[in-house]
Structure 1
Amino acid sequence: MPKREWSTTGVANGTTTRLLCSCGLAIGLGIVVSVDVSCSTSESSTDTAARAGDAGDRVAAPLPPFTLEVFDRVRIGSKSEEPNFHKAAAEIDISKGPFAHAELIVDLTSTCFPFEQWKSEPPPAGQNWPASCDAFDRNFEVALIDPAANDGPAIEVIRAITPFGGPLHIERDVTDILNALHGKRRLEVTIPSYSDVEGKVSGSNGGWNVGARIELTPGTPPRNVLAVVPLVYDDKTLGATPRTFDFTLPAGTRHSRVEYLATGHGGGAVEQEVCLGPADEFCKRRHTLSADGVPFVSGEELWRTDCKALCTMTKGGPFGSYCLENPCGAPASVQAPRANWCPGSETPPLVFEPEQLAVPGEHAIDILVNKVSADGRWEISAKVIAYGD
């Protein structure tokens, strides 16, 4: 509220006091006195209301929780001439922060399952699957892209593998990421779906349906996030060849978290002792990560052995029995260990807090995979989240 001041003299106990008058309120500096001072103002009632509104804005409660609807059963397909070939993207506006909590919720469905859907879309004559069904396990990735920095890596927020033809529900906390970003971003979902034109092992026009939303609770952030720095998001890593990523941590950084995602894929030749099947999908590889030359991950094998939990045998369906979580997959394949992933599940990031990244300034992270087959690949992403006090 603007104050109007006059110098006037009030005498109390022999003390001369300068008075502050603000619309009828007289306050003695050093001593309270009773003085009849008339305050005048030219403000209208509209001005007064506006000032009250301004004051209210400064102390307003956070916005109520709200939801950003990103995708509503958007189809990602397998034909390059059709929309959303392998990818779907949508713009989101995250300018209404900060957020006390932010949750990304993704739902994946297909026409493969439940099998009752086959009544409305039966397999074409001579084929084994509904045309729109993708019966295989595919990479399933969700990333945030800065439209102003298309040359830089995206921020991968979910790495998963689709089930063999079945549904998947994923919830991922993105509070720290969204509190570090401002304005508009592009949310992109990638599923490299493929078709079998003969419809024998999968549908002849296979694809997936994706729903995505972000549930946001505005309020005081739980942590003081200063920045999210994406380092890499690709499949270009070569075996036994370190890759170095330089970056800068902002002023005020007191500690940092590194999130590393890596999964092995491909159909290379089987290597005895280290591979149970085609490389690199079924190969054990060792990963080493260093911060400013100091290893914080030393030769760690990224290998999932819990895939058996994703095959609850169930009677019924077109094949007599099936894995409930992976209804279109051969049980032996579903249950097999793999290079840090399982069909029908999310691969959570490996999280580290290297002490070298507890100070602002220039830094570097090195990533090394001990071996990658010529016909295999490791898809990796890494980001650094910087925190203040």
Structure 2
Amino acid sequence: MRRALAGALGFAVVTGGSGCGNDAARAPGEAQPGAGGGQGGEEQEPSPAPAYTITAFEEVRITSDAGQPNFQQANADIDLRDGPFASVRLVVELESTCYPFETWEDNPPPEGQSWPADCDAFDRNFELSLDDPVDPAADPPGIELVRAITPFGGPLRLEVDITDVANGLPAGKHRLRAVIPTWSDASGQVSGSNGGWNVSAVVEAVPGPAPRKVLAVVPLFNGSQTTAEGPGPLAVEVPEGTVSSRVEYRITGHGGGESGSGCIGPAEEFCRRIHTLFVDGSELARIRPWRTDCAALCTIAHYGPEDGGFDYCLENPCGAIESVRAPRANWCPGSESPPFTWDADALRVPGRHTLAWEISTIAEGGAWRVSATYFAFGE
């Protein structure tokens, strides 16, 4: 595809590389109470503060150059004020200079290279989290808000409801972190020689009565797992007054280990594994995280003249069509991987409990990205 792309755009191709990669916010202030003097002289409840937006990232470039700012991640402070919230939404947009292809006219590949230098043609992990630890050894993990995989070459837009998280956290400033482990190709053959991604993120907050009473939001784990055994029983403190709960378990398989039983390609990206979760030592759930709908993210489009040019996936413009369509370990290129969720009976009972999980097997060279968060709700 790279040869066809560069040829269609009028650029030379160097042989030897593989194809594409396998506020408008108001000023802080007190809300004005409603007018008094109703029937019986009762005062009305104060009206909610006006809705507002917070621009956390505006086309912030996450780079593959370790010598530049925002190497593989970017951070921003957000101020969640005037709660409780009727609604809080997070809107994220990811872009790469790989696409649309017409932009290559003004941003051509350097001589002898096949991609614009700042283009990242691969699919990458994308994770957005809140309040990541300053000292990972002593502080709790960050709360994962979004798990997705970038498209091959982009772009991608995501909208996520984070109302429960916002209503369960202390008011005030919190740190938002966007992570994309982008890497460059110095020769510019399989991706840009200085590839990266542009990230925009806006928080849309609507103060008002909360949809549910959030008693606690507890991040339990956020990291990589390379062995079948999980991080061990994790303590979960259930607060008094809890009537329902939610465990969010986000998992995606990655890596280039040798494929074996249960795999259709390199482990763990193409492996079917069984994940078993336990609460207080008793089995909560047994799941097999495996996406078979990736073909839906490959609408065939054509670039160039009808009797020439090339076909590509509209949602994944720089990916080989067969690769885009392949099933994977709970993810597809250019798609969010939402959490598995459960309301465990035991995690409604006030006091100390434990959550644990294990994966049936993990091949050497493979890994699962895992995060777990506990929510407690009251009447």
Q: Which residue pairs with 1:141 in the alignment?
A: 127
User: Is residue 314 of structure 1 aligned with residue 301 of structure 2?
Assistant: yes
User: Is residue 186 of structure 1 aligned with residue 175 of structure 2?
Assistant: yes
User: Is residue 265 of structure 1 aligned with residue 254 of structure 2?
Assistant: yes
User: Is residue 347 of structure 1 aligned with residue 334 of structure 2?
Assistant: no
Q: Which residue pairs with 2:290 in the alignment?
A: 303
Instruction: Report the Cα distance in structure 2 between the residues aligned to 1:321 and 1:163, rounded to whole angstroms.
Output: 16
Q: Which residue pairs with 2:316 in the alignment?
A: 326
- 2:226–2:366 Cα contact (<8 Å) kept: no
Structure 1 residue ranges (4+ consecutive) displaced by more than 6 angstroms after TM superposition: 52-58
Deviation, 1:247, is: 2.0
Instruction: Report the Cα distance in structure 1 between the residues aligned to 2:118 and 2:131, rounded to whole angstroms.
Output: 29
One-letter code of the match for 2:154?
Answer: G
Instruction: Report the Cα distance in structure 1 between the residues aligned to 2:155 and 2:230, rounded to whole angstroms.
Output: 38
RMSD: 1.9
Deviation, 1:128, is: 0.7
Deviation, 1:55, is: 7.7
Cα pair distance change 1:119/1:148, threshold 3 Å: closer
Q: Which residue pairs with 2:207 in the alignment?
A: 218
- 2:91–2:157 Cα contact (<8 Å) kept: yes
Q: Which moved more, 1:167-176 or 1:245-254?
A: 245-254
- 1:147–1:185 Cα contact (<8 Å) kept: no
Cα pair distance change 1:241/1:359, threshold 3 Å: closer
Q: Deviations 1:55-101 (Å, cap 9, x if unpaired)?
A: 87983311111111111000000010001000000001113211000
Give aligned-pair identity as a percent. Answer: 53
Structure-to-structure mapping, 1:65-76, within 5 angstroms: 65-76=51-62
- 2:133–2:141 Cα contact (<8 Å) kept: no
Structure-to-structure mapping, 1:95-244, within 5 angstroms: 95-145=81-131, 151-182=139-170, 183-240=172-229, 243-244=232-233
Structure-to-structure mapping, 1:255-294, within 5 angstroms: 255-272=244-261, 274-294=262-282
User: Is residue 356 of structure 1 aligned with residue 343 of structure 2?
Assistant: no
Instruction: Report the Cα distance in structure 2 between the residues aligned to 1:304 and 1:243, rounded to whole angstroms.
Output: 27
Deviation, 1:295, is: 1.1
Structure-to-structure mapping, 1:374-385, within 5 angstroms: 374-385=364-375
Aligned with 1:85 (options 71, 87, 91): 71
Q: Which has the larger radius of gyration?
A: 1
Deviation, 1:265, is: 0.2
SS at match of 1:356: helix
Instruction: Report the Cα distance in structure 2 between the residues aligned to 1:154 and 1:261, rounded to whole angstroms.
Output: 13
Cα pair distance change 1:196/1:169, threshold 3 Å: same
SS at match of 1:179: helix
Q: Deviations 1:233-269 (Å, cap 9, x if unpaired)?
A: 0003511456211121122111110010000000001
SS at match of 1:116: helix
Paired residues in the alignment total: 336
- What is the TM-score when the length of structure 2 is the normalising length? 0.85
Deviation, 1:148, is: 7.7
Instruction: Report the Cα distance in structure 2 between the residues aligned to 1:146 and 1:242, rounded to whole angstroms.
Output: 18
User: Is residue 254 of structure 1 aligned with residue 243 of structure 2?
Assistant: yes
- What is the TM-score when the length of structure 1 is the normalising length? 0.83
User: Is residue 370 of structure 1 aligned with residue 360 of structure 2?
Assistant: yes
Q: Which moved more, 1:63-72 or 1:315-324?
A: 315-324
Instruction: Report the Cα distance in structure 2 between the residues aligned to 1:284 and 1:179, rounded to whole angstroms.
Output: 36
Instruction: Report the Cα distance in structure 2 between the residues aligned to 1:175 and 1:158, rounded to whole angstroms.
Output: 13
Q: Which residue pairs with 1:11 in the alignment?
A: none
Cα pair distance change 1:123/1:355, threshold 3 Å: same
Larger RCO (alpha carbons 8 Å, 6+ apart) = 2
One-letter code of the match for 1:138?
Answer: R
Deviation, 1:126, is: 0.9
One-letter code of the match for 2:188?
Answer: G
**Structure 1, unaligned runs of 5 or more:** 1-51
Q: Deviations 1:253-292 (Å, cap 9, x if unpaired)?
A: 11110010000000001114x1110000000110000111
Instruction: Report the Cα distance in structure 1 between the residues aligned to 2:118 and 2:132, rounded to whole angstroms.
Output: 32
Instruction: Report the Cα distance in structure 2 between the residues aligned to 1:250 and 1:288, rounded to whole angstroms.
Output: 25
Q: Deviations 1:100-132 (Å, cap 9, x if unpaired)?
A: 001000001110101111111001111110000
Cα pair distance change 1:149/1:385, threshold 3 Å: farther
One-letter code of the match for 1:234?
Answer: G
Instruction: Report the Cα distance in structure 2 between the residues aligned to 1:386 and 1:283, rounded to whole angstroms.
Output: 33
Instruction: Report the Cα distance in structure 1 between the residues aligned to 2:155 and 2:181, rounded to whole angstroms.
Output: 16
Instruction: Report the Cα distance in structure 1 between the residues aligned to 2:81 and 2:155, rounded to whole angstroms.
Output: 32
